[in-house]
Every structure is written in C-alpha cells, then in structure tokens.
Amino acid sequence: MDSATNTDIVEKSSAAQGALAGLRVIDLTRVLGGPYCTMILADHGAEVIKLEPPQGDETRDWGPPFVEHADGTRDASYFIGVNRNKQSVGLDLAQPKGRAVLLRLLEGADVLVENFKPGTMEKWGLGYSEVLSKRFPRLIHCRISGFGADGPLGGLPGYDAILQAMTGLMSINGDPSTGPLRLATPVVDLATGLYSAVGILMALYERNRSGQGQFLDMTLHDCAIALLHPHAANYFLNGVRPRPTGNPHPNLAPYEKFRTRTCEVFIAAGNNGQFRKLCTELGLADLADDPRFATNAARLANRVALAERLAAAVADQDGHELALRLLRAGLPAGPVLAVDEALNSAHARARAMVSEREGYRGLGTPIKFLRTPGGTRMPPPRFAEQTVEVLSKAGFSAEEIETLQAESVLLSRRRR
C-alpha cells in the first residue's frame, strides 16, 4: 500500500468492509497493550500479521479457562479476547534469517507495532532512525514500552498493576477503609492500546500530507498518567493530595450507589437542574429548596446528610424499574450489574457488543461506522496458523519456506 496514492487508498477502503481496509500492519506485540491496539485496527479492516516468537504469545497460557483444540493444544481466554481478525506467523527474530524475513514483510507494510524492551530492535540492527526509516520511509513504527527509553526509569519493564501503583491510579481507587486498590480491569494496558491506535491513525493522516512515516514512543507510564482526570486537575488547582472516596465523586454530589429492594442503583446529578428534577422524581421536592443542597458545592459539604435522604427514598423501590424511570426522565441512573448481566442485557445485544463467529464469542467493537462497519471477520488465530499463506503472499517460494522451517526460523508449533 505504500506506493498507492491517497485516492487509491480511499477507493480500496470504501470497496471493502472496514474503514481501514487496505492497511497492512506487522504486529510484533505480546500480552495486552500492543495486541489490544492491533485488534482495534484489525476490527476495522486492517490486515494484521502477528509475528509470534517461538514460544508464542504467553497469554495463550494465561488460563483457565481454555479452548481445547483437537491436536492437543489449547489457548486461554486472555489471548482469545484481544487477538481476533489477525494472522499468526511463528518467527524466530533472534536469528539473522528471522530478521531478514521481517524486513521482507515490511516491504509491503504501513505500520509496525512492537513492545520489545527499548533497545532490542536497535541491537538487532532494526532501529527506526538508523535502518527502518531509511529503508521504509513511509513506515509508521509504534513502540509500546513500560517507561520509554529515556528518563530515570528508561528501559525498565512495565506491567499494568505496577503502573497503576506508580502513577497514582491505585491511590484514588477504593475508599478510606480499603486503602489503595488495583482497578480490576487492566486499565493501563487497555488505555495504552487505545492511545497507540489513536496515535497510529494520526501518523497515517499526517503521512497523507508529508508522504513520510514516523516513530511513535508510547509508554504505559505516560498513558496511565494521562488517565488521572479529574484528580490531577483538582491537585493542580488546590494543591491537596487526592484521596480515595469509593463510589462518591470527588467533585459532584449526589454521585454514588444506593441500595433498593431489588438491586443497587447508581444515581448522579451533574447540575442543579438535574438535582431539582431528581428530587421531584423521588418525591423529595423539599430537598431542592434546602440551602444545604442548593448548589453542588453545598451538596458536597453536606454529602452524608443528602445520601441518607436519598437512600431512604429508594430503599423500598424496584431498582431496575427506578433506574429506567430516571433515565427516561433524562437523569443519570443505572442498576449495578454483574459482568454476565451486562453482557446478556437486551441493550448490549441490540448494540452488537457480543460478537460470535465460527465458534468464537467475544466483545463487539464499540466503533460503529455506517458505510464501513467493522467487527469480527475471523476468530483469533492458532499459533503460526497462517505462516505459509502470509509468506507465500509476500513472495517467498515454497522452497524458501521449507528451508526456513527446517532451520527453525519459521515455527509451526510452539517451542516449550
């Protein structure tokens, strides 16, 4: 695609499913942040070639649960959840011939995504500045690492929970009784994948003007810091260290969950008009005229008294019916659902947020296009499943492929 004109790219994309049809991505990532990034691109039509090391992506073993294959191999849910719509090639980049294979595959690629320790690509003679940018001037090279290559922590490994701890995210989760808590979803890895996908698309857009690729330096550290709103904004303004508040919001009241007869419900009010309307809906019109609750600042100062009145008003109600009634009145409210309840909800089904194809079941894409819809085109690949197909398409002869397989440069089964 590098030699195509902008018009060619647009026509190719619009003629096939997915806004990114025609985009070719070489994916050297493992575990979560990188694979999540490339799955976003793959969901919307990009051709993503996942080059797995001889041992494979280690998340294939991060189970149970597993899907068991007929040949005795198995893949964990953790891998399956972020690797659909990709093609897998087993390749040993530690060997010079493996790196030669990578270079041939990059000849037709638009994007390279990798999450090796900073300096690894340079050690292999594949550094962006010295080699790749000169050989492939239109290539977008996105590196995802824990801390980047520079700074006091440059080059050190990064892991989601460790970055949650180091960037303050853990300190604002939980409540005073629990102390800092890890967010149950790997938010740093996922956010880094999202930011990286955004960065790649920005770089591709800029390439349309300049004709040049560029290097993206994405880190778990920076993306985690970027998630600190509104706590960082509060600190910048008042100089007070943010503390964990549990469900209540540090800047808004009411903004917390309440127990009803059938379930817990989260109720919020973002402005005075919403608060007054909430009071009317709950039969508490007197609260809206109470000076203690007249403004958001006043409600924050009297949060406990306000919560007691609201809790008493909803305690005997059906929480599901109450939440729906408040939502239909234009008020922020929702039942607190378990994961299985959320996935099986009527609205999740209506929004195609559960995707099924060829025995695969996973989350749907949240990015909804009208003309170029994305989604699940093929299930996550088995290890090295498309090796021969990918290399043949890239111009490798059958004899070359057989030789590389005999020399264990290409792998057909994971090395244990």
- Which residue ranges in the chain fall short of pLDDT 50? 1-15
| Per-residue pLDDT tens over the stretch 393-407 | 999 999 999 999 999
**Confidence (pLDDT) at 411:** 96
3-class secondary-structure state, position 76: strand
Q: Does 189 qualify as catalytic in the annotation?
A: yes
Domains observed in the chain: 6-227+358-411 (3.40.50.10540), 255-259+264-335 (3.30.1540.10)
Calpha distance 338→342 (Å, rounded): 6
| Per-residue pLDDT tens over the stretch 337-395 | 999 999 999 999 999 999 999 899 999 999 999 999 999 999 999 999 999 999 999 99
Single pTM value for the model: 0.92
| Per-residue pLDDT tens over the stretch 247-274 | 999 999 999 999 999 999 999 999 999 9
The catalytic residue among 71, 189, 318, 340 is 189
Calpha distance 123→299 (Å, rounded): 59
**Confidence (pLDDT) at 397:** 97
Query: How high does pLDDT run on average in the chain?
Result: 94
**Distance between alpha carbon 378 and the CA centroid of its chain, in Å?**
19
Helix (H) or strand (E) holding 191, with range, is helix 187-210
**Confidence (pLDDT) at 2:** 41
- CB within 8 Å of 340: residues ≥ 6 apart: none
CB 193 within 8 A of CB 185: no
Query: Could you identify the residue written with the tokens 């698309």?
Result: 201
Query: Could you identify the residue written with the tokens 């962006």?
Result: 128
Calpha distance 110→113 (Å, rounded): 10
- CB within 8 Å of 169: residues ≥ 6 apart: 163, 183, 187, 188, 224, 227, 228
**Confidence (pLDDT) at 401:** 98
